[in-house]
């Protein structure tokens, strides 16, 4: 019996040492946001696991501003609708931190906020020869981007696909493209930029860009320029 006692004590010590590690591994909380990028006040899905079952949770931005709460299910999981804050940025993206806690457990993740923007440069020139580089942001990842050319009389002239968005927020930068690859008329055109191959004036989200083509004076070439800001 004396020879067996040290072995028994050693086995017990090993078992006790493993218990906290196993508990810690199974109770580690984690949250996921889908998608990972949002427009102002956009919505998504918040999921989580490893929280205290049947308890309350709260969500905060940057660890300070509470933006939501709910109940954890019997399996320690969270599933809730996420609404992004209002975003006042006009250029580029911004990374933000979301944290969720049930008291003893805290889990955090990051997400991006993006403006919805589209434009091209140069903004002025002879419409017959003007070649521009388009920049688009905020239309979501892996979407085709279309420019619908609406004539001064309000009728659709043509729709062109200018590329496919990339990255979590849906960005696109093109090479030089002819702004008017067809015969134009004088007046103010509207370029509607969206992700639908078919033109609809009610499509959302969409971006509208005005471009005025002025009738030339004698002996000069036509000039055009983007209207508005």
Read out DSSP for the chain? -TTHHHHHHHHHHHHHHHHHHHHHHHT--EEEEESSEE-TT-EEEEEEESSPTT-EEEEEETTTEEEEEEE--TTS-EEEEEEPPP----SS-EEEEEEEE-SS-EEEEEEEE---EEEEES-EE-TTT-EEEEEEESS-TT-EEEEEEE-TTS-EEEEEEEEE-BTTTTBEE---EES-SS---SEEEEEEEES-SS--TT-SS-EEEEEEEEPPPTTS--EEEE---
Q: Are residues 183 and 169 both part of a single domain? A: yes
pLDDT digits (tens, 9 = 90+) for 108-145: 999 999 999 999 999 999 999 999 999 999 999 999 99
pLDDT digits 0-9 by tens, 45-76: 999 999 999 999 999 998 888 999 999 999 99
End residue of a domain, out of 66, 93, 113 = 113
Q: Domain boundary at 113, 134, 166, which?
A: 113
Same domain, 108 and 121: no
Same domain, 121 and 222: yes
Query: pLDDT for 142-167, tens place per residue?
Result: 999 999 999 999 999 999 999 999 99
CATH number at residue 151: 2.60.40.1930
In a domain? residue 20: no
pLDDT in tens, 164-209: 999 999 999 999 999 999 999 999 999 999 999 999 999 999 999 9
- Are both 106 and 207 inside the same structural domain? no
Q: Are residues 105 and 130 in the same domain?
A: no
Does 15 fall in a domain?
Answer: no
Note whether 122 and 221 are same-domain residues: yes
The boundaries of the domain holding residue 196 are: 117-226
Among 66, 97, 113, residue at a domain's last position: 113
Is residue 21 situated within a structural domain?
no
The confidence score (pLDDT) of residue 228 equals: 73
Over the stretch 17-35, which tens digit does the pLDDT of each residue have? 333 333 333 459 999 999 9
Residue-averaged pLDDT of the chain: 87
pLDDT (0 to 100) of residue 27 = 54
Please check whether residues 133 and 222 belong to one and the same domain: yes
- Shared domain check, 86 and 122: no
| 144 and 219 fall within a common domain | yes
Is residue 134 a part of any domain in this protein?
yes
Count how many domains the chain has: 2
In a domain, 84, yes or no: yes
């Amino acid at each position: 019996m004396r020879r067996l006692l040290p072995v028994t004590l050693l086995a017990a010590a090993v078992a006790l040492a493993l218990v906290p590690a196993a508990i810690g591994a199974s109770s580690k909380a984690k949250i996921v946001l889908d998608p990972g990028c949002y427009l102002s006040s956009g919505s998504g899905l918040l999921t989580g696991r490893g929280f205290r079952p049947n308890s309350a949770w709260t969500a905060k931005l940057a660890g300070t501003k509470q933006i939501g709460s709910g109940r954890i299910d019997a399996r320690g999981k969270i599933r809730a609708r996420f609404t992004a804050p209002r975003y006042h940025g006009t250029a580029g993206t911004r990374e933000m931190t979301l944290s969720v806690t049930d008291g003893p457990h805290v889990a955090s993740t990051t997400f991006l906020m993006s403006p919805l923007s589209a434009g091209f440069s140069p903004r002025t020139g002879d419409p017959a020869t003007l070649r521009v580089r388009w920049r688009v942001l905020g239309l979501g990842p892996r979407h085709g981007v279309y420019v619908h050319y609406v004539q001064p009389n309000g009728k659709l002239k043509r729709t062109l696909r200018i590329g496919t968005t990339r990255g979590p927020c849906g960005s696109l930068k093109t090479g030089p493209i002819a702004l008017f690859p067809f015969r134009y008329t004088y007046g103010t055109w509207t370029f509607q930029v969206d992700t639908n191959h078919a033109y609809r004036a009610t499509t959302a989200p969409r971006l509208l860009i005005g471009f005025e083509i002025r009738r030339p004076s004698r002996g000069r070439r036509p000039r055009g320029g983007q209207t508005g800001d």
